[in-house]
Amino acid sequence: MTPPEFSSRSPLLVVLNAGSGSGEALRTRGVIAAGCAAVQRDFHVYEVEAPDRLHTCAREAVKRARILRGVVVAAGGDGTINAVAQAALGSGCAFGVLPQGTFNYFSRTHGIPSDTAEALQVLLHESPRAVQVGMVNERVFLVNASLGLYAKLLEDREAFKAQYGRHRWVAFCSGLLTILRGARPWYLHMSWHGQQRDIRTQTLFVANNALQMHRVGLAEADAPEQGQLAAIALKPQGAIAMLSLLARGALGRLGEAESLVSFTFESMKVRPMRGRRRVKVATDGEIGWLDMPLDFRVSLEPLWLIRPDVAPELEATRQ
């Protein structure tokens, strides 16, 4: 793996999601301008005001970064980071993050602060390091990919937020209602590492984030640090048992649940055993349709993320 051409003078090409409001976007631009001016670093901001412009702006930023030997930077939540990473993967450009989401698992796993000014200092003073990328078919995921109940939870949450506002209690109520309604099981055939398994499950969750898995207590938490992904399938069960499972996760004891099937892999094929040709898949919280079969794998190309050598929060979870 050859690192991208990079220097402390490389310009920043920033894709900024303004969806959270013009005031927040203006503040972020101010932080970027002040920080870059202090070290005489060039930058350009691509401000995304409409969701359908995100992928176009990301491609434009990558194109310019390749010409200028610059750094492609995602400023936003998981969806923004995912879209910019999709464009940057394999481009030969360094990649940076100014996290502005709720959980920020990707940035926290790699030691990047959630505060914009502090994250900018990482961008200005650290170097690119190779970071594993997960793929499902041709779609990137940095944190997780899922189908079934978990994807439905995310989809319902966004619908509730659009109607009632982006508040934590709205997300909680939405998730509770989705669980109480229940979900039809999926019948899947999975093959990996020469092994095969037929499974009846309410959700299939593929993880590529060590911090998130450590937080809920999964034994496979360090798989992404070892060049692998982790698959977690949930056996069908009722609403009360599901709520109990969520409580286990909140306490960091999810791995003790007998209703979970989990294992690690580098590549895995998932085929439907009954009829489905297309399926809704959530990748880093963004819902989209994909054709079956699903091909989950570790990308041959890493992201060259500008990050510190040590991630304190991740190290703390291992102690």
**Residue 165 — very low, low, confident or very high, per pLDDT cuts 50/70/90?**
low
Instruction: Mark whether 108 and 157 lie in a shared domain.
Output: no
Cβ atoms of 44 and 29 within 8 Å: the answer is no
Which stretch of 68-77, 92-101, 180-189, 261-270 has the lowest confidence by average pLDDT? 180-189
Instruction: Give the angle 177-77-302 at the CA atoms, nearest 5°.
Output: 115
**Residue 145 — very low, low, confident or very high, per pLDDT cuts 50/70/90?**
very high
Q: How far apart are CA 172 and CA 154, in angstroms?
A: 11
Quick one: pLDDT at residue 319? Answer: 66
The single-letter code of the amino acid at 186 is W
Complete edge-to-edge strand list for the sheet that includes strand 303-307 = 43-48, 12-17, 71-76, 94-99, 303-307, 127-131
Instruction: Mark whether 121 and 143 lie in a shared domain.
Output: no
In a domain, 35, yes or no: yes
In a domain, 7, yes or no: no
User: Is the pLDDT score of 191 beyond 60?
Assistant: yes
Phi, psi values for residue 278, rounded to 5°: -130, 155
Which pTM does this prediction carry?
0.89
Quick one: pLDDT at residue 175? Answer: 57
CB burial of residue 272 (10 Å; 0-12, 13-18, 19+): middle
**Residue 7 — very low, low, confident or very high, per pLDDT cuts 50/70/90?**
confident
Instruction: Mark whether 290 and 152 lie in a shared domain.
Output: yes
User: Is the pLDDT score of 171 beyond 90?
Assistant: no
Instruction: Mark whether 89 and 214 lie in a shared domain.
Output: no
In a domain, 4, yes or no: no
Q: Could you tell me the CATH number of the domain that includes residue 47?
A: 3.40.50.10330
Instruction: Mark whether 163 and 117 lie in a shared domain.
Output: no
Instruction: Mark whether 95 and 225 lie in a shared domain.
Output: no
Instruction: Mark whether 93 and 167 lie in a shared domain.
Output: no
In a domain, 159, yes or no: yes
Quick one: pLDDT at residue 295? Answer: 98
In a domain, 2, yes or no: no
Instruction: Mark whether 283 and 230 lie in a shared domain.
Output: yes
Boundaries of domain holding 230:
139-298
Q: Could you tell me the CATH number of the domain that includes residue 292?
A: 2.60.200.40
> What's the mean pLDDT when you consider all of the chain?
87
Q: What does DSSP say about strands 12-17 and 71-76: parallel, antiparallel, or unpaired?
A: parallel
User: Is the pLDDT score of 151 beyond 90?
Assistant: no
Quick one: pLDDT at residue 226? Answer: 95
Which stretch of 48-62, 167-181, 252-266 has the lowest confidence by average pLDDT? 167-181
Instruction: Mark whether 230 and 193 lie in a shared domain.
Output: yes
pLDDT digits (tens, 9 = 90+) for 55-103: 999 999 999 999 999 999 999 988 899 999 999 999 999 999 999 987 8
Quick one: pLDDT at residue 254? Answer: 81
How many percent of the chain have pLDDT more than 90? 60
In a domain, 101, yes or no: yes
CB burial of residue 52 (10 Å; 0-12, 13-18, 19+): exposed
Quick one: pLDDT at residue 106? Answer: 95
**Residue 51 — very low, low, confident or very high, per pLDDT cuts 50/70/90?**
confident
- DSSP letter string, the chain: -PPPP--TTPPEEEEEE-TT-HHHHHHHHHHHHHHHHHTT--EEEEEE-SGGGHHHHHHHHHHHHHHHT-EEEEEESHHHHHHHHHHHTTTT-EEEEEE-SSS-HHHHHTT--SSHHHHHHHHHH-EEEEE--EEETTEEESSEEEEEHHHHHHHHHHHHHHHH-S-HHHHHHHHHHHHHH----EEEEEEETTEEEEEEESEEEEE--HHHHHHHT-TTTTGGGGT-EEEEEE----HHHHHHHHHHHHTT-GGG-TTEEEEEESEEEEEESSS-SEEEEEETTEEEEEESSEEEEE-SSPEEEEE-S--HHHHHHT-
Quote the number of domains for the chain: 2
The residue with tokens 């194109």 is 63
pLDDT digits (tens, 9 = 90+) for 8-31: 899 999 999 886 545 788 899 999
pLDDT digits (tens, 9 = 90+) for 192-228: 999 999 999 888 999 999 999 999 999 999 999 999 9
Assign residue 315 a region (left: φ > 0; alpha: ψ between -120 and 50; beta: otherwise). Answer: alpha
Instruction: Mark whether 91 and 239 lie in a shared domain.
Output: no
In a domain, 126, yes or no: yes
Instruction: Mark whether 176 and 278 lie in a shared domain.
Output: yes
Quick one: pLDDT at residue 83? Answer: 95
Quick one: pLDDT at residue 181? Answer: 65
Q: Output the six-digit token pair for 190.
A: 């999975």
Instruction: Mark whether 305 and 265 lie in a shared domain.
Output: no
